[in-house]
Amino acid sequence: MEQNSPLYNLFVRLRRRRFLLGVEDYFALKRAMRLGFGWSSRETLRNLCCLLWAKSNSERELLKSLFDQLGLPDWDLSRDISLAKPTTESENKDLSGSEEPAQEGSNVQGLDIDEQVPATLPKRGLPPIDLEGIRLPSKSFVFVPHFPLTSRDVAQRWRYVRESELSGPLEEVDIKATIALRCRQGLPGPIVLRPRKRKTSHLLLLVDQQGSMAPFHKFVEIVWDTIKRSARSGDVAVYYFHDVPVEGADDRILASVGGQPFPVLDDVLDQIAPLDSGYVYEDRELLSPIPLPEVLQTIGKGANVVFLSDAGAARRHYDLQRLLDTVAFIKVLRNYNQRCVWLNPLPVSSWSGTTAEQIARYVSMFALDSHGLQRATTVLLGKRRPVENSL
């Protein structure tokens, strides 16, 4: 039964962790093993799995950890192979007799790996703690993060958010212009060159930091870092803010919507003045402020804007002032930019009754998962704009 096979178990676990594996990949492993690969030791079997199923270093590390959790005993046929040509009989014997204690040499490779792992060096002061001689649990652990999106997911999805643009040095023949020139002059003139067409995406990433976003820092960092790396230098600007980039929208207009348990802004939307007199920060510690108008002027009109923020959903709060400030700022963005999306690290189900739910009525907000990212990129390409009121 496949279900009882440790390798099938491994295959299922990897799929659960969003390894892009199909049935063919599982059969590929079986075919490889039928051809004689992966039998000589536990290590070689693990390496074979890595070879066939892992497509990045982090996947390889994760696969190795999960493989170790299968609890397969150690075996090593390499010694026998070096002594005599193996026969089918001896192979079978060794595999079935895998309860034998592991050969000393079989762990040598593992020890080398461990030694290469960077460890904390003891500092002056408190002495180091060494667990030598302490019996440790046999379970091996995974130290690779498992977020709703991997760096690869983001990169794959984001490459579509680009538009062609002529930029850079003149290095490509402009045939039309060359012909036009020659027709005009009636002589064989010089060749007209133009810049090469490049895919580009001018983007302003505004990342909410600290407070309720602290639990998502690592995940969000992977997202913006991947987006930034997948673009050309200078095409993506990343700035940070806390809760809202601007504060201080005129709250006197809220007097008319007060008195309700969860007041909304529908009746006063027209009265909300655009507000850009705030600061965003160049660093994640929010230590280097830069005035928003300066940022908006720099990125220029037409750039896409992406928010990375929980919009108040993480603490499950409803904050009318935050909503007001956000709407006032989005109104500014509408003057500067064409497309704007909000990526929320929390799923849609958790927005209900929070500020996020209301903000999502005015700006396209999506959960920061594979489906949400796909829809967000669609909006950035100008194909859809599913908001109730685009201000």
Partner 1 sequence: MSYTDNPEKLVKGTAKTFLASFGEGALHLACHAAVPVVLSPELLHLLRVNFFLDTPEPLPYMVESDILLSPLCNEIGDNLYEIPPDIRDILLRELATTPAYGEQRIHEIAALLFQYSKRFSPWQNNQTLERGQQLTAFNFLDSQSAKKWLEASEEDSHSAALSEREWFIAMRAELLKLDAVFSEPQDFKTNATGELETPFTEAPVHTIEPLQFPFNQRPFSRYEPIEKRVEDARVLIIDDLLRNEDDISDVARREWGRNIPNELQRERRVAALDIETIHNNISRLVKRPTIHVGHLSEIAEAARKFRPNAIILSGTVRDFDFYKPELIESFGSFIRTTTIPVLAIGGGHQLVGLSFGARVLTLDYLEPRERREKRQFEYQYRFMRITDPEDPIFHGINDESTGIWEDYTTGPRIIRAWQNHGLQLDRVPEGFKLLVTSYLCRNQMMVKRTDGQLIYTTQFHPEKSFEDWNKNRTRWEHQNESRDGRILFENFLIQALAHRV
Supply the minimum distance, in Å, between the C-beta of residue 96 and partner 1. 28
* Full DSSP string of 86-113: --HHHHHHHHHTTTSPPPGGGGHHHHHH
Supply the minimum distance, in Å, between the C-beta of residue 248 and partner 1. 6
Q: Which is nearer to partner 1, 23 or 129 (CB)?
A: 129
Integer CA distances (angstroms), 383 to 125, 126, 203, in order: 61, 60, 17
Supply the minimum distance, in Å, between the C-beta of residue 99 and partner 1. 22
Supply the minimum distance, in Å, between the C-beta of residue 208 and partner 1. 13
Which residues contribute to the site for partner 1 (CB under 8 A)? 13, 16-17, 117-120, 123, 125-127, 129, 131, 133-137, 139, 141-148, 210-212, 214-219, 242, 248, 277, 281, 285-287, 289, 310, 314-315, 345-347, 350
* Residue 373: closest CA among 209, 185, 168, 230: 230
**Distance linking the first and last C-alpha atoms of the chain:** 59
Q: Which is nearer to partner 1, 35 or 131 (CB)?
A: 131
Q: H or E segment at 289?
A: strand 289-291
Q: In 3-state terms, what secondary structure has residue 302? A: coil
Give the span between the Cα atoms of 327 and 254, in whole angstroms: 13
Q: Which is nearer to partner 1, 14 or 77 (CB)?
A: 14
Q: Which is nearer to partner 1, 143 or 187 (CB)?
A: 143
Supply the minimum distance, in Å, between the C-beta of residue 246 and partner 1. 10
Q: Which is nearer to partner 1, 60 or 162 (CB)?
A: 60
Q: Which is nearer to partner 1, 253 or 381 (CB)?
A: 253
| Four-CA torsion 92, 98, 101, 103, nearest 10 degrees | 50
Supply the minimum distance, in Å, between the C-beta of residue 253 and partner 1. 16
Give the span between the Cα atoms of 281 and 239, in whole angstroms: 6
